[in-house]
Chain A
Amino acid sequence: MLPNVLSALEFERLTNASGPTGGRIVTRSTQRNRRTKEEEWVFDTDAPAPRSVAIIHCVGSRDQNHNPYCSRVCCMYSLKFAHLVKEKLPDATCYQFYIDMRAFGKGYEEFFERIKDEGVFVVRGRSARVEARPDGMVIRGEDIVHDRIMEFPVDMVLLAAGLEPARGAHRLASVLGIRPDDDGWFTELNYNTDPTGTNRGAIHVAGVCQGPKDIPDTVAQASAVAARVLGSVISGSVRIDRESVSSAEAAANAARLAGTSPREEPWPSEPTHT
């Protein structure tokens, strides 16, 4: 509805060196498409740069009206955006409106401190309103720590929109016979001991489809799946579907836990369906 409210991915594209402006951060301008006669929004390399940028966290996440879960990556990418803004537009003011700053990974907290040192205003208090006024956009939020309402003009607003399961994920799940949870993420076999297995033995999940996560965690999960696959290739056996455990299998499991060697199945040329 407002041309200078951008989603995270739109901003990524804008700041990318191979993007529409070669990486320059500019405000979006409206122009009339000569052919369709409709008004459209474009990024013009020569358009003015924003003097102030506000980044709003938790858009659509941690929200019972949308998605109740946390999307995990948005705090960090929001800080990254702030850094890019300050790097490319040193005179611009940049604000972060957040609820909890989730900088949990290796080096993340230090990055957060660096962003603060770069002069980004980090405000505890998620802004709730972006309004169009005749002379620009106005953002309204509560600055909780300083106990006041902040209402001021901004040239650009970036929305840290959360993650949702990919389109078609549900259909894929039913085709594969694996279970999505209430939020649509694929359910792992065991949260602690088997975060990439599923109820179907030879089908694994890795990355965001199992739940929002960043690149290092995705790579680790992907490699974890590779371990299973390689293990099967090398040993020549594969785990069968867990759900269809027969009483014989159950007895074998019990025996295994009591000290006998793990049972192995020869890897069939066709996948086992039970």
Chain B
Amino acid sequence: MAIRANPHLIDELEKYGAQDVVKCYHCGNCTATCPFSGEVFVFPRKSMRYLQLGLDVRLQGNLEPWLCYYCGECSEECPRGAEPGETMMSMRRWLTARYDFTGLSGLFYRSAKAELLAIVLVALLTGLGLTLFGLSQGSIDVYDGPGAFLPASSIHIFDWVMAGVLVLLLGINCVRMWWYTMGSDKEVRIPPLEYLKQLFLVPWHFLTQRRYSQCDRKSPWAIHLVLMLSYLTMLVLIMFFLHRVQHGPAIDWRAHAFGYAAAAGLVVTTIYALQGRLRKTRPHYQHSHETDWIFLALLLMVSLTGIAQHILHRGGWETAANVLYVVHMMGVVPMLVLEVPFSKWSHMAYRPLGMYFSTLREKAVLAAEDPEKSRPAAAAQTA
């Protein structure tokens, strides 16, 4: 069965950041250089090929972009300047948009204006909503305790509802990811038992990003790990210990120690990433899409306002603290609502799933193949 080439796909991907892929003349350097390219998953050239030819269906089912960590060695070796690293990054953005059933993700990736508009809209709604709520049942001068403007218990409920909705959205997208990459593949069938056996891989990769640590350069993995663990710590504190951290003015060190460490982690790594992207210090900082800046900006804004409102509260300026709390939420809510199901943060699900699915697939493909065939040198034949 022949697949139709779609010359328009490249135009679409350009908006996601793939401007140089047209230059690829298929020398194979990138794939040969890539430390992760192996027997079953051969990349990045093959993925770039699908893109050049406009094979939407193939690209949609491609797990390879999630196996790439943008060490950038491929881009360094590329004799044509086709930027395989950035192309893979663009594919991750495109796949994120594809997995998303609402279409919003695609909209936000293609149009920074749309994303900013959405952020502003959600921020205003949040601001308005919280202010009205706060005023309706509390006083703006009280941060904590009876009459609190934004009591922990209410915020707690609000957080959990929001989390539920976002997880649901992301979950649906994850199922779509499975369908595109694994479920719809009639050639490789994986028994449900296998899925269960390897399920531990998902939390394992989520927590350690082990694969990232296998790149030649270790510092990107380390920085990302700190960023992620800081965020995770903050999430746990807010979702489960909000009351304890919000309650003041005394500082509950058992909880706050984590909080401060996490805040520091967030701020330091975010600023590191920002200056890295501005000064293009690393291969994966050479190209920055608008979504990259928006993400970092939101993270920084949220971290700083979070710290600020905490300081203000502990310092006794409760009104200011409340105001800043609202502002903080006006950053948190859009950030979560946009980033988790529709934008960069979705990779926290897609990557571990990518590891999980690819392991399952690799096992299935290698088991099905004749052991002789999988040895390249012996079977090397002319083109």
In the complex they form, whether A and B have CB atoms below 8 Å apart is answered with: yes
Q: Are B37 and A149 in contact (CB under 8 A)?
A: yes
Check: A33 CB closer than 8 A to any chain B CB.
no
Q: Report the minimum CB–CB distance from B107 to chain A (whole Å).
A: 35
Complexed CA–CA distance, A274 and B42 (Å): 62
Among the 9-residue stretches B20-28, B90-98, B138-146, B216-224, the one with 4 or more Cβ atoms under 8 Å from chain A is B20-28
* A123 and B383 contact, CB distance less than 8 A: yes
What mask results when residues 31 to 58 of chain A are scored 1 for a CB within 8 Å of chain B, else 0?
Answer: 0000000000000000000000000001
Name B's interface SS: loop
Contact with B along A83-106 (1 / 0, CB 8 A): 000000000000100011000000
Q: How far is the CA of A179 from the CA of B316 in the complex (A)?
A: 76
Residue of B nearest to A128 (CB): B32
Chain A residues with CB under 8 Å of B7's CB are: none
Q: Is A148 an interface residue (CB 8 A)?
A: yes
* B27 A150 Cβ-Cβ under 8 A: no
Assess whether B376 is in contact with A150, with CB atoms less than 8 Å apart: yes
B80 near A64: Cβ-Cβ < 8 Å: yes
Query: Which A residues are in CB contact (< 8 Å) with B250?
Result: none
In the complex, what distance in Å separates the CA atom of A121 from the CA atom of B42?
21
Asked if residues B37 and A143 are in contact (CB atoms below 8 Å), the reply is no
Nearest chain B CB to A124 CB, angstrom units: 5
Q: A142-B45, A149-B31 are in contact. Are A58 and B79 (CB under 8 A)?
A: yes
Instruction: List the A side residues contacting B37 at CB < 8 Å.
Output: 142, 149
Give residues 6-28 of B contacting A (CB, 8 Å). Answer: 25-28
Q: Scan B361-383; emit 1 where CB is below 8 A from any A CB, else 0.
A: 00000000000000011001111
Residue numbers in A under 8 Å from B26 (CB-CB):
99, 124, 144
- Give Cα A149 to B30, complex, Å: 11
The digit string for A117-147, where 1 denotes a CB below 8 A from any CB of B, is: 0001111111111000000000011111111
In the complex, whether B203 has a CB less than 8 A from a CB of chain A is no
Q: How far is the CA of A95 from the CA of B380 in the complex (A)?
A: 9
By beta carbon, the residue of chain A nearest B30 is: A128
Across the interface, do B32 and A141 meet the contact criterion of CB distance under 8 Å? Answer: yes
Interface membership of A65, Cβ < 8 A = yes
A181 at interface, CB cutoff 8 A? no
Shortest C-beta distance, A114 to chain B (Å), equals 13
User: B379's closest neighbor in chain A, by CB?
Assistant: A146
Binding site for A on B (CB under 8 A): 25-33, 37-39, 42, 45-46, 77, 79-81, 376-377, 380-383
The 4 closest A-B pairs by CB, nearest first: A142-B28, A125-B28, A63-B79, A128-B32
Contacts A62-B25, A141-B32, A149-B38 given; 5 further ones with Cβ under 8 A? A124-B28, A125-B27, A126-B32, A128-B28, A142-B37
